[in-house]
Amino acid sequence: MKHHRMLAIASLLSILFMTLHLAEDIVRGFEPGGLANLVAIPILVAWLYGALLLADRRSGLVIILLGSVLGMVIPVIHFRAPGGVAGGDIATSRGAFVWVWTLLALGVSSLFAATLAVHGLLTRQKDQSR
């Protein structure tokens, strides 16, 4: 499988997990669910554009890298929060497994996409220096 195809798939998975996680945060009351959450839409669209249309260009790789770093930060924020994911009401609430699984899947897919984006950037740089 070609590098940019794997990168696009990993980015699409990260975007999917990000939207699922944001929806769960709103449903659980971690996010207010107001108009402020609509800021995520242009960010995710830019990430989607970079993944699908620009994955073979430097600008696309940078967009994917930035989106992936954002995706990697979300689990860290939740795991470092007071009480953490395992503490407080979230661990015993209904649907906690899916919420935690989504966080973990988001972290894995984002780290993989970031790794592929960095590899793509380094490969492009090496090819241009020849």
For every one of its 130 residues, what pLDDT tens digit does the chain have, with 9 covering 90 and above?
Answer: 688 789 999 999 999 999 999 998 888 777 777 788 888 899 999 999 999 999 888 999 999 999 999 999 998 888 876 666 655 566 667 777 888 899 999 999 999 999 999 999 998 766 666 6
Alpha helices in the chain (DSSP H): 3-28, 40-52, 58-80, 96-129
What single DSSP character describes residue 2? -
What single DSSP character describes residue 31? S
- For residue 76, count CB atoms less than 10 angstroms from its CB and return exposed for 0-12, middle for 13-18, buried for 19 or more: exposed
Task: Give the predicted TM-score (pTM) of the model.
Answer: 0.85
